[in-house]
Every structure is written in structure tokens, then in C-alpha cells.
Amino acid sequence: MADALLIKNGIIVTLGEKNQVLYDHAVLCEAGKIKKIAKKKEFRGKYGKTIDASGKVVMPGFINVHMHFYSTMVRGLGKAEPSKDFQEVLEHLWWRLDKKLRLDDCYYSALLPLVDAIKHGTTTLIDHHASPFAARGSLDVIAKAVKKAGLRASLCYELSDRDGAKISQDGIEENIAFIKRCQKEKDEQLKALFGLHAAFTLKDETFEKAGQAAHELGAGFHVHCAEAESDQNYNLKHYGMRVVERLHKFGILGPKTIAAHCVHVNEAEMDILKQTDTAVAHNPQSNMNNAVGVADILKMMNKGILVGLGTDAMTVNMLEEVRSALWVRHLVRNNPSGGFMQTVCTLLVNNAKIANRYWTQMPIGELKEGCAADIILMDYYPPTPFNENTFLGHLMFGLSQSFVDTTIAGGRVLMENKKLKIDVDEEEVAAKSQKLSRALWERF
């Protein structure tokens, strides 16, 4: 069993619908998946690699269902004018940035947060990319970074009409090309969705083209939905429809689609999201930062809508995001006990459900025989009883303050003892990014 990886002596947290906390057990991985979880004494053979997880919690890698790799190079940028609302945030910062991105920028903008994701135990990311004047080939460039890092990612290109007809057509073609690539290669590291910016930047005819192209390919969509109230106002004024209604009209919704944000959807729109089995990505830190509001995820979840957790590029640290989600939930409901289970489950249960709509060959997000060997080891000596009944409290108030020691994706060790094991020189990559960002800032 030369390729086998055995993880022993840790506290195993399986997650899944019926989370188990296992002591004196070990996890055996082979061929990128979990082959066996059993009592430690059952494993007596020789293995290609054995990891001693003493003093560690062993659990599935985290999943991020809404990310923007391309935002990396704005860190510290002071050129954007102050913004009084979300529309100005887009106009002063993001729509100025994406127009200036080149393919080299796209690669390094992706590689750096992917490395950071490894450090924080995030092994799967669903990304949404925009570089309108470097659209064609951009997803292949980002895919190269994903392969280099060794993680899993679903990629899409942000189709929009805001930069004219040619750029819009480039966006359609880029989505089609990458979806076809993923369908042909069947690479378990890479998946594809058809990206759409938001309804207020898309004409009816563009929706029709995108809908037809994606449906012919059997692909779902990744779209920003009612992030700010201005999105609703625009669609009502120009089309006489609310955002979700308009997306539904053009066949954008469905079980393979992710609607990001949904801060300003009403009850009728929630009913449509439920009826179409569309997944929602909650991004609380971004919504607070942009002052657009707080999505009523409890109402959505009570209706049976599948709500997961994204970061919208605010972080790749999913424990930071889920804590923020809980604090703001308590604040807006004026209830320090409200929504605990539902909020934590967006990360621990629902993100896996969303991701497994795309990663269908080998389930992710759970430590179970036959699931993908996407595993993290976190430093933790529990100071109080640690079991199925207490785990969530430990996660939110203890593990969240601990360090990820080891990150494994598809059975490949990407970080061990807090040292990267991938072929990436982090200092060199950061230096290259600094050089590119200086040039980008000059163009900004």
C-alpha cells in the first residue's frame, strides 16, 4: 500500500448529516478517497505515509461557495474614491479594477488566495471571475493556479453587458469553452458554472443567449442576486419584474445554480428559489462591509431553501466567516440565542450539499468511506467534554481560534506541520504579485 495515507491518534470529527466524534480511531486514504475509518488497532500494515495527529482534531476540509480570486491585488489600494453606496463601490473600485486586469494578474490573483486557503483548511472554492479586457483564456489561467495549489475549485466567468457587446460575447464564449473543457477532462479538481454578474447589468437578449448556451451544455449558473436594493429598483423600473422573477423567466434558476447574496429578496422570491431548488450563498462580512443589509437566511431555510456560506473574497478563513454570520444574526434579530444551529450548518452541512451538486463522483465535506480525502488537522486540546453534543460550541469558540496544522486534498498532503508541501515558493509568488500590482495600480 505504497500510496496509502494513514492518519492516527487524532480526534476524528466526521461531519455529515449524522456527525460523529471518534476517539481511538484512524483514517486510511487511498487513491484520493477515504478507504476506511475504524479503531486504530485495526491498522497494522505498512503504509506509504503515516501522520500522527496527536493533539489535533481531524475533520473535513472547509468549502467556500462564493469567492472572487481576482480581488487580491486591491489590498492597500488607496486610489478609489470614497463611496456613499454599493453602486459607487462597484463604479469606484471593482469595475475599475476588473477592466485593468491582464492574464498574468489573474493567475497570481488566484494563486495567492489559494495558498492562503490551504493555510486555513479550505479545500474547495466556488469562484466567480471578471476581467473584461482579458476574458478569453482567463479561466484556463485560473485553473492552472488551482492545479498548482492542489485544491478543488469551480470556476466561471462573470458575463455582463456593462462593457459593451464584444465584451459580453467574450464572456459567453469563455464560459462555454471552460464548461466544455471540464466536461471533456472530467478532472475532479476542476468544475465549471456559467457566470453572470447581476440582473441589473444584463439585457434580456443576453440572458436568452446565456440561458440557451448553458442549458445545451447542462450547466448551472453562478449569479449575484439582489445584493443591494438598487438591483431590485433597477429591474422593477426597466423590466417591471423583481430580480428573482427575471432570473426565473430566463431559466437561470435551478438545482445547479447558486444565487449569491439574496439580501433583498421578498417572500414571493424566496418561494421561487425554493420551487426551483436554487442554492443561495450567504456572504455576511461582505454585506456588512458594503452596507447593503443582512440576508434573512433563517426565513429562507425555514422555507426549505438550501443556504450555504461564501466569503465574497473578504477572507478564505471559513471559521472567521461563520462566526461573523452568527454575530450579525444575533444582532439583527435582537436575540443572542437565535439561529445558532441554522447558521453553523450553512458551513458544516449545506456547503457540502451545494458542492456535491457538482462533485458527483466522489462526495466531499464528510469523513466517510468512499468520500474524497479532503481532510484537515487542527491543533486543539479540548478543555471541556468534546463530543457530538458539544462539538459546535467547541468549533465556534475554541477551534475557530486554533491553527490548521495539516491540509490534505484528494489524498495529497498540501501542508504538514504548518509548512507548505506544494511546488510554490510563497515569497517568490508574493514578490511577483507585488511587481504586477504596482503596474496594475498605475493603470488604475
- The answer on pLDDT for 78 being more than 90 is no
Domain housing 385: 5-61+365-420
Looking at the fold, whether 292 and 412 belong to one and the same domain comes out as no
Whole-number pLDDT of residue 82: 87
The proportion of the chain whose per-residue pLDDT surpasses 90, expressed as a percent, equals 94
- The answer on pLDDT for 236 being more than 90 is yes
Whether residue 360 is contained in a domain is answered as no
- The answer on pLDDT for 80 being more than 80 is no
Whether residue 431 is contained in a domain is answered as no
179-219 per-position pLDDT tens digit? 999 999 999 999 999 999 999 999 999 999 999 999 999 99
Helices 138-149 & 103-119 angle (0-180, nearest 10): 30
Whether residue 118 is contained in a domain is answered as yes
Whole-number pLDDT of residue 2: 62
Looking at the fold, whether 287 and 405 belong to one and the same domain comes out as no
Looking at the fold, whether 131 and 43 belong to one and the same domain comes out as no
Q: What is the mean pLDDT of residues 217-239?
A: 98
User: Can you say whether the dihedral through the CA atoms of 378, 384, 389, 393 is positive or negative?
Assistant: negative
Q: What is the mean pLDDT of residues 59-67?
A: 98
Phi first, then psi: give them for residue 230, nearest 5 degrees. Answer: -60, -30
Looking at the fold, whether 257 and 370 belong to one and the same domain comes out as no
- The answer on pLDDT for 76 being more than 80 is yes
- Residue-averaged pLDDT of the chain: 96
Whether residue 441 is contained in a domain is answered as no
Assign residue 342 the CATH number of its domain. Answer: 3.20.20.140
Whole-number pLDDT of residue 79: 73
Looking at the fold, whether 76 and 90 belong to one and the same domain comes out as yes
The grid cell for 22 is 471518534
Q: Are 28 and 47 in contact (CB under 8 A)?
A: yes
Rg (the chain; Cα; Å): 21
Whether residue 428 is contained in a domain is answered as no
254-302 per-position pLDDT tens digit? 999 999 999 999 999 999 999 999 999 999 999 999 999 999 999 999 9
Looking at the fold, whether 391 and 305 belong to one and the same domain comes out as no
Instruction: Please tell me the total count of domains within the chain.
Output: 2
Whether residue 425 is contained in a domain is answered as no
- Name the pTM for this structure: 0.97
In the listed set 301, 320, 355, which residue is the last one of a domain according to the structure? 355
**Burial class for 260, CB neighbours closer than 10 Å (0-12, 13-18, 19+):** buried
Looking at the fold, whether 399 and 314 belong to one and the same domain comes out as no
- The answer on pLDDT for 405 being more than 70 is yes
Looking at the fold, whether 272 and 238 belong to one and the same domain comes out as yes
Assign residue 415 the CATH number of its domain. Answer: 2.30.40.10
The proportion of the chain whose per-residue pLDDT surpasses 70, expressed as a percent, equals 100
Looking at the fold, whether 154 and 238 belong to one and the same domain comes out as yes
Q: Please name which of 242, 248, 252, 138 lies closest in space to residue 200, comparing C-alpha atoms.
A: 242
The grid cell for 260 is 449569491
Whether residue 438 is contained in a domain is answered as no
Looking at the fold, whether 97 and 229 belong to one and the same domain comes out as yes
Looking at the fold, whether 18 and 165 belong to one and the same domain comes out as no
Whole-number pLDDT of residue 1: 61
Give me the sheet containing 25-30, strands edge to edge: 33-39, 25-30, 5-8, 49-52
Q: What is the mean pLDDT of residues 163-173?
A: 97
- The answer on pLDDT for 43 being more than 70 is yes
325-382 per-position pLDDT tens digit? 999 999 999 999 889 999 999 999 999 999 999 999 999 999 999 999 999 999 999 9
The grid cell for 435 is 511587481
Looking at the fold, whether 320 and 392 belong to one and the same domain comes out as no
Whether residue 338 is contained in a domain is answered as yes
Tell me the pLDDT band of 3, cut-offs 50, 70 and 90.
confident
